[in-house]
């Protein structure tokens, strides 16, 4: 999608669809809506005042009206903004996404919209512009890569277009010419945030026969402006990453530990390391998952996708005085003659021994060595890992929120605040000392799965904490629930959500509404 910024009366837009935002319960229309309503013979007002109302202006509600030549635009999309007092960042983002999806249903290629007064008053012009571009980009997304392949395409691996309608141009119309530069700046940032969230979605949605550890390696290596170093299986073994090695050895797909680095031109204000779990397919190993739940285990690399996409966005946005490192341990977890067996004991990179009583608790095994390596390699001020780690977190928080836990209240609260601005919910879970009982093994320093149905998310966090330096500011994000959507909302269609990309970018850049 391309954004164009123009000045002039919004009602004079001559394209295919004009979007008009209206708050719920508003005593009157703002100037933009009044002009459009007048041209349509007060039809919008009549829809609002009908008993029962034809249009209530609820958040994301749309009413599509043909103009029959009364306006230069062929259609008006009346967009509900929800209640004014609730018009925060997520509400405006979601409303714009709903408008874009309505335009897609109309199969229009060009649409336009201005900024409702309520939006500008609530968040200012630059934030409103950024969130407009985010919502538009997120609402535009559909995963169609593998649909409608031609026979020739199936034979040679090339992909044919699937004919899906997409909005190509969204014109943002602003009557005040002195605001155009600020609007363009906000749109550029929001567009990049949406593009990279969609990139992570794209990788999560694609199948595991395409998205392999080698694929993630290739994507990381292709990012311009970032340093990329990769450890192969021999290097992983040579460094003593016994936990990572044990998970990876059961697959014919070679594993990698990818290290991406962004360095600002000036002295950085701090150094942060992001670690993303990259299990490109998780069968459960010999502790085999049930067939009904295995199909979606292509999404067990959602943490890795979020970290790579975040670093790629930083490389394009630049203008960040923080040194950012991304560490991505990536492999498959498969059953084979050389897979790990329940009861195996391995030595992790930090020297601790681990009894593996459940090969399906593999994420913490690859992460523990990656966390050790990240700390030794770059000694970060802050350490954040993001992973689809536990089904227990889905049980606790559902698909709505990720669990967050760690050693630094400041870091946890900062990420929570960023998530609130980004439209991604993070809910704190405890790491009580009493949970150490879940790590107790009779034959090793630790056991990888000892919770037995109790506090499984916190048990996973407690395991990872054993591999974090005691004074390190560390946060663990368990995104097992929100990484995959099972029903549509305007900005998140079914499938991979790209969860974490926006939160991490909002945290790094400190964007506010």
Q: pLDDT tens digits for the chain (513 residues)? A: 999 999 989 999 988 999 999 999 888 899 999 999 999 999 999 999 999 999 999 999 999 999 999 999 999 999 999 999 988 899 999 999 999 999 999 999 999 999 999 999 999 999 999 999 999 999 999 888 887 655 444 433 333 333 346 899 999 999 889 999 999 999 999 999 999 999 999 999 999 999 999 999 999 999 999 999 999 999 999 999 999 999 999 999 999 999 999 999 999 999 999 999 999 999 999 999 999 889 999 999 999 999 999 999 999 999 999 999 999 999 999 999 999 999 999 999 999 999 999 999 999 999 999 999 999 999 999 999 999 999 999 999 999 999 999 999 999 999 999 999 999 999 999 999 999 999 999 999 999 999 989 999 999 999 999 999 999 999 999 999 999 999 877 778 889 999 999 999 999 999 987
- Amino acid 492: pLDDT: 80
Cα angle value 489/492/498 (rounded, 5°): 155
What are residue 473's phi and psi, to 5 degrees? -80, 110
Instruction: Identify the H or E element spanning 470.
Output: none
> Strand locations in 220-322, DSSP E?
227-231, 256-262, 271-276, 278-282
For residue 325, the tally of other CB atoms under 10 A from its CB is: 23
Domains of the chain: 2-145+165-174 (3.40.220.10), 199-509 (3.40.630.10)
Residues 6+ positions from 393 with CB-CB distance below 8 Å: 402, 403, 429, 456, 457, 478, 480, 481
Of the candidates 284, 283, 245, the one whose C-alpha atom is nearest the C-alpha of residue 365 is 245
Active site residue 93: no
CA gap 106, 482 in Å, rounded: 30
pTM, whole model, 2 decimals? 0.95
- Per residue in 395-414, is it b (16+ CB within 10 Å) or e — as a string? ebbebebbbbbbbbeebbeb
- Amino acid 149: pLDDT: 55
- 411 token code pair: 């870091």
What are residue 333's phi and psi, to 5 degrees? -115, 100
Q: Which residue out of 83, 289, 377, 436 is catalytically annotated?
A: 289
- Amino acid 150: pLDDT: 52
Q: What is the DSSP letter of 33?
A: H
- 297 token code pair: 């285990």
CA gap 29, 37 in Å, rounded: 9
Instruction: State yes or no: cis peptide before 430, omega within 30 of 0.
Output: no
For the residues of 98-159, what is the DSSP string, one character each? HHHHHHHHHT-SEEEE---HHHHHHH-HHHHHHHHHHHHHHHH----TTSS--HHHHHHS--
CA gap 272, 292 in Å, rounded: 38
Give the three-state DSSP class for 511.
Answer: coil
Active site residue 185: no
User: Which region holds residue 35: left if phi is over 0, alpha if psi is between -120 and 50, else beta?
Assistant: alpha
Instruction: Identify the H or E element spanning 369.
Output: helix 363-378
Q: Which residue out of 179, 364, 425, 465 is catalytically annotated?
A: 364
């Amino acid at each position: 999608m391309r954004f164009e910024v123009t000045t002039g009366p919004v009602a004079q837009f001559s394209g295919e669809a004009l979007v008009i935002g209206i708050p719920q319960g508003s005593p009157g229309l703002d100037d933009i809506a009044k002009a459009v309503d007048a041209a349509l013979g007060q039809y919008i007002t009549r829809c609002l005042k009908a008993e029962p109302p034809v249009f209530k202006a609820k958040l994301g509600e749309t009413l599509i009206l043909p103009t029959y030549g009364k306006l230069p635009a062929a259609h008006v999309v009346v967009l509900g903004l929800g209640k004014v007092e609730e018009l925060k960042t997520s509400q405006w983002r979601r409303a714009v996404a709903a408008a874009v999806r309505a335009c897609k249903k109309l199969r229009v290629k060009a649409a336009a919209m201005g900024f409702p007064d309520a939006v500008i008053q609530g968040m200012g012009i630059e934030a409103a512009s950024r969130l407009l571009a985010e919502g538009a980009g997120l609402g535009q997304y559909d995963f169609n890569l593998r649909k409608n392949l031609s026979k020739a395409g199936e034979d040679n691996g090339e992909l044919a277009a699937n004919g899906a309608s997409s909005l190509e141009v969204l014109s943002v119309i602003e009557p005040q010419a002195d605001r155009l530069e600020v609007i363009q700046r906000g749109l550029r940032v929001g567009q990049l945030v949406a593009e990279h969230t969609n990139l992570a979605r794209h990788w999560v949605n694609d199948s595991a026969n395409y998205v392999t550890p080698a694929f993630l390696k290739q994507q990381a290596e292709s990012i311009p402006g970032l340093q990329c170093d990769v450890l192969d299986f021999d290097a992983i073994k040579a460094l003593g990453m016994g936990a990572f090695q044990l998970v990876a050895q059961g697959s014919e797909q070679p594993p990698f530990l990818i290290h991406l680095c962004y360095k600002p031109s000036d002295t950085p204000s701090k150094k942060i390391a992001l670690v993303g779990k990259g299990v490109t397919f998780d069968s459960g190993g010999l502790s085999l998952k049930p067939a009904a739940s295995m199909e979606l285990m292509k999404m067990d690399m959602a943490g890795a996708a979020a970290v790579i996409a975040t670093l790629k966005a930083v490389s394009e946005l630049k203008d960040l005085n923080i040194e950012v490192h991304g560490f991505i341990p990536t492999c498959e977890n498969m059953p084979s003659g050389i897979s790990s067996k329940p009861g195996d004991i391995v030595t992790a990179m930090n020297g601790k021994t681990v009894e593996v009583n459940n090969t399906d608790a593999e994420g913490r095994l690859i992460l523990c060595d990656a966390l050790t390596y990240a700390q030794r390699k770059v000694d970060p001020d802050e350490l954040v890992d993001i992973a689809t780690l536990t089904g227990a977190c889905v049980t606790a928080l559902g698909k709505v929120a990720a669990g967050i836990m760690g050693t630094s209240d400041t870091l946890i609260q900062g990420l929570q605040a960023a998530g609130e601005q980004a439209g991604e919910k993070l809910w704190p879970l405890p790491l009580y000392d009493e949970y150490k009982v879940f790590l107790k093994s009779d034959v090793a320093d630790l056991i990888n799965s000892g919770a037995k149905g109790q506090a499984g998310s916190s048990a996973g966090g407690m395991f990872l904490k054993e591999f974090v330096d005691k004074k390190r500011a560390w946060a663990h994000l368990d995104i097992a629930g929100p990484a995959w959507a099972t029903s549509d909302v305007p900005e998140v269609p079914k499938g991979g959500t790209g969860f974490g990309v926006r939160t991490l970018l909002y945290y790094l850049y400190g964007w506010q509404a």
